[in-house]
Amino acid sequence: MKRIKQFMENKSQKYLIIMITLILLGLILLGGVIFGFHYFITRPARQTNKLYAKRTYLSIIFS
């Protein structure tokens, strides 16, 4: 009985460590995905603003 109890305690500690590392990896990946979406959402807006600024500048020159 004692051996079974010790085995279960050791096993639960290993599973606890594995679960904590998986949760931390998941949080890191989630942060990377959120940062990626934020970067790709804000990046095209800057480019369109630059293109719009260039078009207005050219329209002022040619008008």
List, for residues 21-57, the tens digit of each pLDDT value: 999 999 999 999 998 888 777 765 555 555 555 555 5
Annotated domain spans of the chain = 1-63
Indicate if the pLDDT at residue 10 is higher than 70: yes
pTM above 0.75, yes or no: no
Phi then psi for 49, rounded to 5 degrees? Answer: -65, -40
Higher pLDDT pick, 26 / 13: 26
